[in-house]
Chain A
Amino acid sequence: MELALSPEDAAFRDEVRAFIAENYPAEMRVANPETDLSKEQMLLWHRILHEKGWIAPLWPKEYGGPGWSITRRFIFEQETTRAGTMPPLAFSVTMVGPVIYTFGNEAQKKKFLPRILSGEDWWCQGYSEPSSGSDLATVRTKAVRDGDHYIVNGHKTWTTLAQHADWIFCLVRTDPAARPQSGISFLLIDMKSPGVTVRPIITIDGSHEVNDVFLENVRVPVENLIGEENRGWTYAKFLLGNERTSMAGIGRSTRYISRLKRIVKAEIPADDPAHLEFVRDIARVELDVLALEATELRVVAQMARGIDPGPAASLFKIRGTEIFQNITELTHRAIGNYGLAIREHPVSANHFMPGPDHGHTASEKYLNSRKLSIYGGSNEIQRNIIAKAVLGL
């Protein structure tokens, strides 16, 4: 399904397509890029995009963005996901970057933005805490002013890829007496600071994506405060809005459905009693993707005409994640008995995996994608948002 494109936009699409085909590193085409690549490997594509000037589609031109229209941003997103490229680190490019150029001071912009674009700094997100999941406003990590430093103490968790990170952006409590939302500040912390400890959390798929981050008497220069003290909640909400914009995941779901069809064809004979159920389930999920894609195109076309999409992002987050979870579950079911096996991490250990190649990541994807309905504001929170903002409940 395509947007109706002007000749210029169509030429741009062809340019993007050709650029990916010629430049996407072969080294990054591994079974499961999200868990199998080293930090250096993940950054290969980042650096290529940076050199081309395409690393930060969302950013205004003055800060190093390409200055694309909404339509072109969407085309780029569509082409890169369809081609199965690994997106640049979201925490850096789509999350903290826009917060810094929107609310940061000149010195902060100058210091951090170029290093985000080049991939020199790897960022992670210090939002969640053991007692603050969806209810982020209750964060307890404390930052106490001491001269021109803050002394930070607390425990952040579910911190994705913190093991690679140079910096962490944190929500910290600077006014314990204020209402929960009012006493929070947005602080940038160097991961090499004394008192920062990262402890891996291994998830049910066996991978190391998320971590605990402990902060013990970490001294953070006051110049690393974004905006005003106690206004961090505003910046955090702005960031979460950006996080949810591209969660429909049409390209990824479409690729996984094609793979699922190949697996079903190879693994399940037509006289298998479950065959018809797979045929139906695949048709159903394919139609789910088609309807969501049509909705995304409708919203993008409206945005291009200046119509505010409202909380459409919540709809995309809910449906996009439900659909992908469903596809990975079907794929896991389709490989039958081989679904018992799981690769060991890291993959470079090269352990024996039984069954056909196409099934090797089915178990871990199935398990790993359970997270989708939880992170980025759980799907229940997204439903609350739509209920309030759209339905007026």
Chain B
Amino acid sequence: MDIQFTEEQELLRSSVQRLLRDQYDFDARRKIVASEEGFSRKQWKAFAELGLFAAPFSEDVGGLGGGPLSTMIIMQEFGRHLVVEPFVETVVLAGGLLEHTGSEEQKQGFIPDIIAGTKTWALAWTEKGSRFELANVATTARREGEDYVLSGEKTAVIAAPWADYLIVSARTSGHRHDRSGVSLFVVDRRATNLDLQSFKTIDGRRAAEIGLRDVRGQLLGKEGEGVAALEACRDRAIGTLCAEAVGAMGELNSATLEYAKTRKQFGTTIGSFQVLQHRMVDMFIAHQEALSLMQHLTLGLSAGDAGVSRLASGAKSKIGYAGRYIADQAVQLHGGMGMTDELNVGHYFKRISSINIQFGDPAYHLLRYAQLDAAA
């Protein structure tokens, strides 16, 4: 059950660690976030050169065949360094959908550019009022010749301002909330009649509100079966977001422990107070449990276990609550310093908060986990 990493996986981990240690410390990240574009094309290129974008894809499409275990390794490290570049959006979300549902032509046409780091992607599935329901889609698509034209609005699409392509969910039949009738489309982000309003997110990224007025799109996967594809995509996304959260939680715990050992009040280090010791023990336990559950999920995703979607919801919920607990306590134990923009602690807090919103919050997934229980 404990993952005994192969030599290749250890190599992947150590090379990501080295790259981030050398080029992605907190100051470097701050500059990237404050830059005009908001992410670093230089870093993106460095990630590509290291083979990170090839790692999870199967050999058939030019990847290294590392699967969910490789993205787990990468995302734990990205979580520790608060990497803002759209790895999840491009490689895990779009890359995964292309690999699992795309035609041969689409795979050959799009995946090599993802692996090479020359194109970035975003997934546009959320709409006003849709909250976390994948089937709640009002955007429409109708057939026009070889292509489709899409109309509607997508909201809070993370990494869209950086993207070359979007994958957009739109309804080809049925009514809003219907499970069937939703289809996925590849849309050029610079297409005519695509209106994009960029904004900054709490965790230093960029997202956009997107308006589509008869925008041309290319069908991805089978018409009307987009929800199932999105569900599988969400399971994979949850795996990577949980790994990232676990990485961030580990950093928060180390930072808090270090602070408690050096910060003096009332003539002694605050780490000598039992109430704070016990708090940090609970933070430690929460992290250990989150790590175990995250690894368990990753193994389930790798094996393609039947119940993995329920497990993904369970992990998203449990790790989400654990992350919030650790982040809350890390800020609390750092006192006023934890509130500052200057210290990294608050930035981990914000990233964990953002992870908790993406693809459904802990409360949503707790109920989904319960509803998928055959015994209840």
Contact = CB atoms under 8 A, between A and B. Distances in A.
A279 B366 CA distance: 9
A288 B367 CA distance: 15
A298 B277 contact: no
B292 interface: yes
B285 A318 contact: yes
A287 B284 contact: no
A280 B295 CA distance: 24
Contacts of A282: 370, 376
Contacts of A390: 281, 284
Contacts of B277: 383-384, 387, 391, 393
Interface in B260-293: 260-261, 271-272, 274, 277-278, 280-282, 284-285, 288-293
Contacts of B314: 283, 286-287, 290
Contacts of A318: 285
Contacts of B290: 291
B257 interface: yes
Contacts of A4: 1
Interface in A67-102: none
Interface in B338-376: 366-367, 369-370, 373, 375-376
Contacts of B257: 391-393
Contacts of A315: 285, 288
Interface residues of A, number: 40
B296 A301 contact: no
B2 interface: yes
A297 interface: yes
A292 B289 contact: yes
Contacts of B151: none
Contacts of A288: 289, 318
A392 B285 contact: no
A283 B369 CA distance: 7
Contacts of B288: 295, 315
Interface string A366-384: 0000000000000010011
Contacts of A132: none
B278 A265 contact: no
A391 B271 CA distance: 10
Contacts of A391: 257, 277, 280-281, 284
A312 B370 CA distance: 29
B252 to A, nearest CB: 14
Nearest to B280: A391
Contacts of B295: 294, 298
Contacts of B284: 386, 390-391
B261 A1 contact: no
Contacts of A292: 289, 292
B375 A258 contact: yes
A294 B281 contact: no
B355 to A, nearest CB: 17
A3 interface: yes
A393 B376 contact: no
Q: Which of A3, A261, A283, A297 has the most CB of B within 10 A?
A: A283
- With most chain B CB atoms within 10 A of its CB, the pick from A264, A291, A390 is A291
A39 interface: no
Of the candidates A265, A301, A386, the one having the most CB atoms from chain B within 10 angstroms of its own CB is A386
Contacts of A261: 373, 375-376
Interface of A: 1-4, 258, 261, 264-265, 279-280, 282-284, 286-288, 290-292, 294-295, 297-302, 305, 315, 318-319, 380, 383-384, 386-387, 390-393
Please name the 5 residue pairs, one residue from A and one from B, whose CB atoms are nearest each other, closest first: A297-B1, A301-B2, A294-B292, A291-B289, A283-B370
Given A283-B369, A294-B1, A298-B2, 15 more contacts: A1-B296, A2-B1, A265-B376, A283-B370, A283-B373, A287-B369, A288-B289, A291-B289, A291-B318, A297-B292, A299-B2, A305-B4, A315-B285, A380-B278, A387-B280
30 contacts: A1-B1, A261-B376, A264-B376, A279-B367, A283-B314, A283-B367, A283-B370, A286-B373, A287-B318, A290-B318, A291-B290, A292-B289, A294-B292, A294-B296, A295-B288, A297-B1, A299-B2, A302-B2, A305-B4, A315-B285, A315-B288, A319-B285, A384-B274, A384-B277, A386-B285, A391-B257, A392-B261, A393-B257, A393-B272, A393-B277
